[in-house]
Amino acid sequence: MGVGGARYRVRMDRDPPVHVRSDDGAPTEELVDELRSLLAETAGFEPLAQRMALLSDPRRLQILFCIHAHPGVRSSDVARAIGALDSTTSHALALLRDAGWVRARRAGREVRYELADGPVHELLHDLGSAHLPGVHHPAEHAEEPPHGHR
Ligand SMILES: [Zn+2]
């Protein structure tokens, strides 16, 4: 057994399962039927897949990390931070906005970006995305809303 395999086994043993189902003894056919109806009740796998596909790009992930790190960041600053052209960054931001990952806010001549509502924020934290100093969630520091986000 290789070292990596051994480590994986240890991890598997230590980590508790995320879900536990109380009656694990259902016959296979019933289980398959249950899974089929669950999938049938869930609408829109195709749009969901298209939306998720946008995240399989390092540059777009970097953009999301920037917007999460500093809500309200300008497109041009994001472009400089990730070392991309303004036009490339604007195009990526438009895709992310159309897919509902971010939203744009016009402030005078500038467009500022923040995360859209929904699961993107938790997802970014799960992926290791951090805030810049002074940026925090309103629930943590309710008295300082300027750069807060949910
Ligand atoms: Zn956050």
pLDDT band at 2 (very low <50, low <70, confident <90, very high): very low
CA 18–ligand 1 middle distance (angstroms) = 23
pLDDT tens for residues 33-72? 999 999 999 888 998 899 999 999 999 999 999 999 999 9
Burial 112-140 (b: 16+ CB within 10 A, else e): bbbbbeeebbebbeeeebebeeebeeeee
Better pLDDT: 28 or 66 = 66
Residue 41 lies in a domain: no
Q: Is the pLDDT of residue 99 over 50?
A: yes
Query: 105-147: per-residue pLDDT in tens?
Result: 998 888 899 999 888 999 999 999 999 999 988 776 545 444 5
Sheet holding 110-115: strands in order across? 73-74, 110-115, 102-107
User: Do the domain assignments include residue 72?
Assistant: yes
Distance 40 CA to ligand 1 centre (A): 33
Q: CA 62, 66, 72, 78 torsion: positive or negative?
A: negative
User: What whole-number distance in Å separates Cα of residue 95 and Cα of residue 73?
Assistant: 17
What spacing in Å lies between the alpha carbon of 59 and ligand 1's midpoint? Answer: 19
Give the model's confidence band at 11: pLDDT under 50 very low, under 70 low, under 90 confident, else very high. Answer: very low
Q: Report the pLDDT value the prediction gives residue 54, as an integer from 0 to 100.
A: 94
Q: Is 19 part of any domain?
A: no
Q: How many domains does the chain have?
A: 1
* Percent of the chain residues past pLDDT 70, beyond the cut: 78
SS3 content of the chain, % helix, strand, coil (to 5): 50, 10, 40
Q: State the CATH number of the domain containing residue 99.
A: 1.10.10.10
What is the CA(39)–ligand 1 centre distance, in A? 31
133-137, Cβ contacts within 8 angstroms, sequence gap of 24 or more: 135/69, 135/70, 135/71
Q: How far is the CA of 67 from the centre of ligand 1 (A)?
A: 10
Cβ atoms 150, 138 nearer than 8 A: yes
Q: Tell how far the Cα of 12 is from the centroid of ligand 1, in angstroms.
A: 29
The whole-number pLDDT of residue 146 equals 47
Range of the domain at 63: 58-126
Dmax of the chain from CA atoms?
A: 63
On whether residue 62 sits in a domain, the answer given is yes
Cα 56 to Cα 85: distance, rounded to the nearest angstrom:
20
Alpha carbon of 78 to ligand 1 centroid (Å): 17
Is-above-0.85 flag for pTM?
A: no
